[in-house]
Structures are given as structure tokens and as C-alpha cells.
Amino acid sequence: MEASQKPQLPLDAPSGSSIRLLEDRVVIEALTISDRDTARVVRERAETGTPPAETVAKSIEIGARVLEREGTGAEVDYVKAEFGKHTAELAEKLVKTIDTGNDQLAEEIAKSFGADRQGTVQHQIKEMLVRFSEHQRESLSRQFSASDGTNPLADFKQGVVTALKEGEARRQRESEESRKRIDALTREIVELKEREDADRRVADAEEAGTRKGLGFEDRVNEAIGAIAALRGDAASHTGGELAEGGGKKGDILVELGAADGPSRGRILFEAKDRRLSRNDAWRELNEGMAARAAAFGVLVVAGEDRVPARCEQLQEYEGNKMIVAVDREEPTGLAIEVAYRLAAARVTMARDSGLEVDAAAVRDIAEEAISTLKQAQAIRSTLTGIKTSSDKARTGLDGLVEAVHGKLEQIDALVSEQAARAE
């Protein structure tokens, strides 16, 4: 076993726990740390996906380095104390040396001059003392300023310098490691914040989408796409896409004939599940047509109660706009098809200005189709509340629907015939 093969260092630990040192590893078993801040940090990082063991290991590593730095400070204090101690001892030795030198000097004076000597001898003694003191000071100064072995403090000074350099190098290494860990934690915090911001933006977008009525918009897109596929047109849902002219105005764009060849014109459909004022409706259509380079705009609203005030559905306004009301849950049907085909005919006629189309005939047929459609819608409304005689009513409804289709086919035939002649 690894524990028996490698030297271990038992450590005192709380009752029931075990701490062992295996070379450069610490094995901790059943250790409880009673510290509120430590528990909070481990819990918060665990909630973000960081394993608790990794957080505890990093905490121990960082704490060990802090303790080691505190030990380095204690070593410096010890060096200072030792330096002061040696300095005091050295001063004491210097005093003794000077005192010894003075005693020797006194003996020399006694030998050279008798006790009864007076006059100039005192002056000579004073000069000798001055010279001797200066010589001693110079000798001591040279000795303690020397960098070789003659300086009694050379080894001590070199040891202090070495210890300070090693301590500074260790401090820099630990500071660099701490900086890297702090940078890593900072990146984790930034990434967490970015994910939170992204989640919040997604939630806001979904909420905004719900308010805008994207469900209704999607159903209108499917209905228009089905009509376009039968006519060789290309329909695209552009509600969230950036337009060529900038901005994201316009929900559905139809390009006439683009499924089989080059586009013969564009129609913009704007789906709204709320009622707009007349001015707001025209502004929405004008901005959408400008952004998508469309020649005609159709406002599709979820029900007749959402038709703007002072407006009629399937009535052309300003030469390039129309409003149509459809069922909110099932927008497919005659109403949206009539609006689609009338708009397509209007775009084709406006594009090929040289076509000799009987505008009056087109207008009359369109009015007949709209009138017939209104009758069909009235019957459909009646069928919703009346269950009896439904078969007969449905037969009449189907006949009216076929009549509407016939009128629309007449419009297409008039426009197509003149377009073919012009080519």
C-alpha cells in the first residue's frame, strides 16, 4: 500500500479525523472545518459547477502560502534581532579594546615620563592620545568596511543579504501564483455574469416575442407560404432578420415569380395581433416596404375587431396598401388569398406600366370578388352559431368560394395575357 511504503508525518487533528503527509501530498480524512465564510464560498462555487473538493484544495494552497509569508516576516524580524545583538556585543568589545589600548598607552607614558614630569610633557601626552585615538578609529573603519575576511561582520552581512534576496524571490513567486489564481477566478466570475446576461436577454426576447404575437405571425407566414408555393412565388419570414436597407421592419416578404426565375416585384405582409390606429398602420407598412424594397404592403390583422378605425379590409389605400382580417388561430382561407392575389396583380400592373390592361374591368372584378367574399364570410359566421341546415349552407358557401376563385382567375388571366404580349 502507498501509505506503508512512503514516510508519513502524523499531525494532531480533531477527534475522529486523520491528517497524513505523504511526500508532497496531504491526505485528510473525516475533517470538519467550522467556519461560516469557508462553508459559504464552497457552497457558492459548487452551485456554479466547481467541485467542492477543488475549492477546498485551492483554499488550503492559498492559506499555506499566506502562512509561509508570515513565517518569512518572522525570519526577517529574527535577523534584525540578531543583528542588534551582534552590534551590541561588537560595541562592548570595541570599548574593551579601547580601554585596553588606553591602559597600554598609560604604561608606555609611565615608562617614558616620570611621575614628577610637568610642563610640556602633558601637551605631548595629549597629542599622543589624539594620534592614537585617530589611528584606532581609522583601523576600525577600514576593518568594518572591508569586504574580505578581515571584516568580522562580512559573513553576517552576506547572510542577511542572501536571506533578503531569497525572501523577495519567494514573495514574487507567490505573488505571481496568487495573481494567476485571482485572474482565473475573475474569468470565471465574468463568464458566469455573461451567461446570466445571455439567459436574461433570451428571457426578455421570449417575453417580447410573446407580447408581439409571434404565434400569430408564424401562422400567417405558413398561410402565405402555402399560397406562394402554388403560384411559383418565394415567401420568406423576415421578422427577425436585418433588412437590406437597415432595421428589422417587415414580417413576411413575397417575391413574385422568384421560385422559377427573377423576381417580378415584392409584396410585404405585416402581421399584427393587436389593433393599430390608421396612422400607425400606414407607418408600419411604409417603414416595412422601405426596408424590404417592396412595392405593395398588406396589413394582416387577427380578426375584424382589429381593423384600424375608418378603414375597410380588402380596400386599396394610397395606391400601395391594403388591410385584411383573418381568423387568429386559422388565418388560412379566402380572405388572405384574395389580399395576396389582388396585391400581386397590382404590383404586376404597376411594374409593367406599358401593359394595356383594362383597369376598370380589373376593378369591377375585384369588387365583385370582395363582395362575394363578404357574403361567404357572413355565411361562415352564421354557420358558427347555427348547427341546423348546415349542409345546405355549406353547399352555398362552397359555390360562393368557387365564384371567388373564378373572379381571381379572371384577374390573373387579364394581367398575364397583357404581360405576355408585352414580352
**CB-CB contact of 232 with 260 (8 Å):** yes
Residue 128 has pLDDT above 80, yes or no: no
The mean pLDDT of 55-77, rounded to a whole number, is 74
- Across residues 173-200, what is the average pLDDT? 76
The whole-number pLDDT of residue 368 equals 72
Domain assignment present for 207 = no
Per-residue pLDDT at 226 exceeds 90 = yes
Residue with cell 418565394: 234
Whether the per-residue pLDDT at 70 is higher than 80: the answer is no
**Maximum mean pLDDT: which of 45-49, 62-66, 366-370:** 45-49
* Final residue before a domain boundary, out of 297, 332, 367: 332
User: What pTM, to 2 d.p., does this model score?
Assistant: 0.42
User: How much is the pLDDT for 155?
Assistant: 64
Indicate the pairing of strand 266-272 with strand 296-302: parallel
194 part of a folded domain: no
Q: Nearest to residue 337, comparing CAs of 286, 372, 292?
A: 372
C-alpha cell at 259: 421560385
Q: Over the stretch 88-124, which tens digit does the pLDDT of each residue have?
A: 666 676 666 666 666 666 666 566 555 455 555 666 7
Please tell me whether residues 268 and 148 are part of one structural domain: no
Let me know whether 157 and 78 are in one domain: yes
Point out the least confidently predicted range of 58-72, 83-97, 338-352. 83-97
pLDDT (average), residues 282-306: 92
Which residues contact residue 332 at a Cβ distance below 8 angstroms, ignoring those fewer than 6 apart? 222, 223, 226, 326
CA 193 to chain centre: 7
Per-residue model confidence (pLDDT) at position 11: 45
What CA–CA distance (Å, rounded) separates 94 from 88? 10
91 and 176 both lie in a single domain: yes
Q: Are residues 51 and 142 both part of a single domain?
A: yes
Does 386 lie in the same domain as 256? no
Q: What percent of the chain has pLDDT over 70?
A: 64
Domain boundary among 332, 366, 383: 332
Q: Is the dihedral of CA 307, 360, 231, 293 positive or negative?
A: negative
Q: Are residues 177 and 43 in the same domain?
A: yes
Chain-centre distance for alpha carbon 358: 60
Of residues 338, 341, 302, 297, the one with CA closest to residue 320: 297
Task: Grade residue 243 by pLDDT with cuts at 50, 70 and 90.
Answer: low
- Asked whether residue 420 is domain-assigned, the answer is yes
Domain that holds residue 318: 213-332
Q: Are 282 and 411 members of one domain?
A: no
Q: What is the pLDDT of residue 255?
A: 94
Query: What is the pLDDT at residue 396?
Result: 74
Question: 154 pLDDT band (50/70/90 cuts)?
Answer: low
- Residues 65 and 128 both lie in one domain: yes
pLDDT at residue 4, as a whole number = 44
Q: What is the pLDDT of residue 1?
A: 42
Q: Which residue in the block uniquely carries the three cell numbers 400581386?
A: 344
Specify if 74 maps to a domain: yes
Which one is predicted more confidently, 263 or 356? Answer: 263
In this prediction, residues 227-256 reach a mean pLDDT of 81
User: How many CB atoms neighbour CB 48 within 10 A?
Assistant: 11
Identify whether 169 is part of a domain: yes
Q: Which residue has the higher pLDDT, 118 or 52?
A: 52
166 and 221 both lie in a single domain = no
One-letter amino acid for residue 120 of the chain: T
Query: Considering its fold, how many domains does the chain have in total?
Result: 4
Given a cut of 50, is residue 376 above it in pLDDT?
A: yes
Higher pLDDT, 133 or 255: 255
- Tell me how long the chain is: 423
**Selection from 73-77, 183-187, 385-389 with the highest mean pLDDT:** 183-187
Question: What CA dihedral angle connects 184, 187, 189 and 194, to 10 degrees?
Answer: -160
Q: Do 163 and 230 fall within a single domain?
A: no
Q: What is the pLDDT of residue 177?
A: 82
- Going by their DSSP bridges, the two strands 18-22 and 25-29 should be labelled as antiparallel
| β-bridge partners, 184 | none
* pLDDT mean over 373-386: 65
Longest dimension (CA), the chain: 165
SS3 for the chain is CHHHHCCEEECCCCCCCEEEEECCEEEEECCCCCCHHHHHHHHHHHHCCCCHHHHHHHHHHHHHHHHHHHHHHHHHHHHHHHHHHHHHHHHHHHHHHHHHHHHHHHHHHHHHCCCCCCCHHHHHHHHHHHHHHHHHHHHHHHHHHCCCCCCCCHHHHHHHHHHHHHHHHHHHHHHHHHHHHHHHHHHHHHHHHHHHHHHHHHHHHHHHHHHHCHHHHHHHHHHHHHHHHHHCCEEEECCCCCCCCCCCCCCEEEECCCCCCCCCCEEEEEEECCCCCHHHHHHHHHHHHHHHCCCEEEEEEECHHHCCCCCCCCCCECCCEEEEEECCCCCCCHHHHHHHHHHHHHHHHHHCCCCCCCHHHHHHHHHHHHHHHHHHHHHHHHHHHCCCCHHHHHHHHHHHHHHHHHHHHHHHHHHHHHHHHHC
Mean pLDDT, range 22-29, rounded to an integer:
76
Same domain, 43 and 170: yes
The C-alpha atoms of residue 423 and residue 418 are separated, in whole angstroms, by: 9
pLDDT of residue 242: 64
**Residue 271 pLDDT > 60:** yes
pLDDT band at 126 (very low <50, low <70, confident <90, very high): confident
Domain assignment present for 357: yes
Q: Mean pLDDT lowest for which of 108-117, 300-309, 335-344?
A: 108-117
Same-domain pairing of 360 and 404: yes
Which pLDDT does position 3 carry in this prediction?
45
d(CA 302, CA 219): 11
- Has residue 58 been placed in a domain? yes
Q: Is residue 119 part of a domain?
A: yes
Residue with cell 426576447: 205
What's the pLDDT at 32? 82
pLDDT score of 67: 74
pLDDT for 273: 92
- Kindly state the average pLDDT of the residues 319-345: 89
